[in-house]
Structure 1
Amino acid sequence: MSAFIEVKNLSVDFDGKFVLKNVNLTVEEGEVIGILGKSGSGKTILMHVLRGTEAIGNVTGEVLYHVARCECCHHVEFPSKIGKKCNCGCNGKYEPFTIDFASAGLHDEGRKDVTKRISIMIQRTFALYGDDSVLTNILNALNEVGYKGTDTVKKAADLLEEVNVSHRMLHIARELSGGEKQRVVLARQLVKEPLLLLADEPTGTLDPMNADLVHKILMKAVDTRGMTMVITSHWPEVILELAHKAVLLDGGEVVDSGDPKKIVDKFMEDYVEIKTEKPTEFGEPIIKIENLTKKYVSADRGVVRAIDDISFEVYEREIFGLIGESGAGKTTTSKIMMGIVPPTSGEVMVRVGEEWVDMAVPGVNNKGRATKYMGILYQEYSLYPHSTVIENLTESISLDLPYELGIRKAIQTLKIAGFSEQNAKDILNKQTFELSEGERHRVAMAQVLMKEPNIVIMDEPTGTMDPLTRASVTNSILNAREKLGETFVIVSHDMDFVHEVCDRVAYIKNGKLESIGDPHDIVPKLMEKEKPKKKDDKEKKAAKDEKKTKSKPASKSKKSDSSKKAEIGKAEEKAAEKENIDINTDGGCV
Structure 2
Amino acid sequence: MSFIELKNITKTFNGVAVLKNLNVEIEEGNVLGILGRSGCGKSVLINMLRGTKEYKPDSGQMIFNIAICNKCSHVEPPSKVGETCKCGGELKAKTVDFWHSDRKDFAEIRKRIAIMLQRNFALYERETVIENVLRAMEEGEYEDNLYKALDLLDMVQMSHRITHVARDLSGGEKQRVVLARQMAKEPMLFLADEPTGTLDPQTAEYLHQTLINGVKNKGITMVITSHWPEVMNKLADQVIWLDNGEIIEKGPSTEVVKHFLETVPLPKKVDEVEYGGPVIDVKDAKKHYYSIERGVIKAVDGVDLNINKNEIFGIVGLSGSGKTTLSRMLIGLTEPSSGEIKVKLGDEWIDMTKPGPLGRGRVIPYIGLLHQEYSLYPYRSVLENLTDSISLELPAEFAKMKAIHTLNAVGFDNEYSNTILNKEPNELSGGERHRVAIAQVLIKEPNIIILDEPTGTMDPITRVQVTDSILKAREELEQSFIIISHDMDFVIDVCDRTALMRGGKILKIGDPKDIVKELTPEEEEKMLN
Question: Are 1:198 and 2:182 an aligned pair?
Answer: no
In the alignment, what sits opposite 2:382?
Answer: 389
Give the Å deviation of 1:511.
4.9
Question: Are 1:292 and 2:291 an aligned pair?
Answer: no
For the Cα contact (< 8 Å) 2:3–2:78, is it kept in 1?
yes
Structure 1 residues 473-482 or 32-41, which shifts more?
473-482
Provide the C-alpha distance between the structure 2 equivalents of 1:344 and 1:154, rounded to a whole number of angstroms.
47
Residues 90-105 of structure 1 aligned to structure 2 (within 5 Å): 90-104=87-101
Identity %: 50
Give the Å deviation of 1:400.
2.8
For the Cα contact (< 8 Å) 1:206–1:326, is it kept in 2?
no
Q: What SS does the aligned partner of 1:340 have?
A: coil
Provide the C-alpha distance between the structure 2 equivalents of 1:244 and 1:207, rounded to a whole number of angstroms.
25
In the alignment, what sits opposite 1:124?
Answer: 119
For the Cα contact (< 8 Å) 2:32–2:224, is it kept in 1?
yes
Q: What SS does the aligned partner of 2:279 have?
A: strand
Distance 1:39 1:146, change over 3 A: same
Q: What SS does the aligned partner of 2:450 have?
A: strand
Give the Å deviation of 1:203.
1.2
Residues 361-400 of structure 1 aligned to structure 2 (within 5 Å): 361-400=354-393
In the alignment, what sits opposite 1:543?
Answer: none
Distance 1:206 1:73, change over 3 A: same
Question: Are 1:432 and 2:425 an aligned pair?
Answer: yes
Distance 1:331 1:25, change over 3 A: farther
Moved over 6 A (4+): 301-304
Give the Å deviation of 1:178.
2.9
Q: What SS does the aligned partner of 1:445 have?
A: helix
In the alignment, what sits opposite 2:142?
Answer: 149
Question: Are 1:528 and 2:521 an aligned pair?
Answer: yes
For the Cα contact (< 8 Å) 1:293–1:346, is it kept in 2?
no
What amino acid sits opposite 2:92 in the alignment? E
Give the Å deviation of 1:236.
1.5
In the alignment, what sits opposite 1:586?
Answer: none
1:371-428, CA deviations, whole angstroms, 9 ceiling, x for partnerless residues? Answer: 1111111222222233222222222222233333322222221111111122222322
Give the Å deviation of 1:199.
0.8
TM-score w.r.t. structure 2 length? 0.91
What amino acid sits opposite 1:339 in the alignment? G
Distance 1:291 1:342, change over 3 A: closer
Provide the C-alpha distance between the structure 2 equivalents of 1:252 and 1:306, rounded to a whole number of angstroms.
50
Distance 1:524 1:257, change over 3 A: farther
Give the Å deviation of 1:165.
1.7
1:275-322, CA deviations, whole angstroms, 9 ceiling, x for partnerless residues? Answer: 222545533332234333253869xx7668482415133222211122
Q: What SS does the aligned partner of 1:351 have?
A: strand
Structure 1 residues 242-251 or 419-428, which shifts more?
419-428
Q: What CA RMSD, in Å, does the superposition of the two structures yield over aligned residues? A: 2.6
Provide the C-alpha distance between the structure 2 equivalents of 1:104 and 1:512, rounded to a whole number of angstroms.
62
Question: Are 1:307 and 2:299 an aligned pair?
Answer: yes
Distance 1:37 1:224, change over 3 A: closer
User: Which consecutive residues of structure 1, in runs of 5 or more, have no partner in the other structure?
Assistant: 534-590
In the alignment, what sits opposite 1:246?
Answer: 239
Structure 1 residues 405-414 or 32-41, which shifts more?
405-414
Distance 1:27 1:141, change over 3 A: same
What amino acid sits opposite 2:207 in the alignment? V
In the alignment, what sits opposite 1:403?
Answer: 396
User: Which consecutive residues of structure 2, in runs of 5 or more, have no partner in the other structure?
Assistant: none
Q: What SS does the aligned partner of 1:150 have?
A: helix
Structure 1 residues 523-532 or 491-500, which shifts more?
523-532
Q: What SS does the aligned partner of 2:407 have?
A: helix
Provide the C-alpha distance between the structure 2 equivalents of 1:509 and 1:96, rounded to a whole number of angstroms.
60
1:308-338, CA deviations, whole angstroms, 9 ceiling, x for partnerless residues? Answer: 4151332222111222344554444333333
For the Cα contact (< 8 Å) 1:34–1:246, is it kept in 2?
yes
Structure 1 residues 458-467 or 429-438, which shifts more?
429-438
What amino acid sits opposite 1:36 in the alignment? L
In the alignment, what sits opposite 1:74?
Answer: 73
Residues 159-174 of structure 1 aligned to structure 2 (within 5 Å): 159-174=152-167
For the Cα contact (< 8 Å) 1:206–1:493, is it kept in 2?
no
Provide the C-alpha distance between the structure 2 equivalents of 1:222 and 1:82, rounded to a whole number of angstroms.
21
Q: What SS does the aligned partner of 1:199 have?
A: strand
Q: What SS does the aligned partner of 2:522 have?
A: helix
Q: What SS does the aligned partner of 2:54 have?
A: coil
Structure 1 residues 377-386 or 335-344, which shifts more?
335-344
For the Cα contact (< 8 Å) 1:316–1:487, is it kept in 2?
yes
Structure 1 residues 123-132 or 64-73, which shifts more?
123-132
Q: What SS does the aligned partner of 2:224 have?
A: strand
Distance 1:297 1:21, change over 3 A: farther
Distance 1:104 1:147, change over 3 A: same
In the alignment, what sits opposite 1:261?
Answer: 254
Give the Å deviation of 1:148.
4.4
For the Cα contact (< 8 Å) 1:306–1:328, is it kept in 2?
no
Which of 119, 130, 136 is 1:135 aligned to?
130
Provide the C-alpha distance between the structure 1 equivalents of 2:74 and 2:324, rounded to a whole number of angstroms.
46
Distance 1:188 1:212, change over 3 A: same
In the alignment, what sits opposite 2:201?
Answer: 208
Provide the C-alpha distance between the structure 2 equivalents of 1:327 and 1:285, rounded to a whole number of angstroms.
27
Which of 281, 295, 313 is 1:320 aligned to?
313
For the Cα contact (< 8 Å) 2:48–2:56, is it kept in 1?
no
Give the Å deviation of 1:347.
5.2
For the Cα contact (< 8 Å) 1:7–1:25, is it kept in 2?
yes
Provide the C-alpha distance between the structure 2 equivalents of 1:240 and 1:263, rounded to a whole number of angstroms.
9
Structure 1 residues 312-321 or 236-245, which shifts more?
312-321
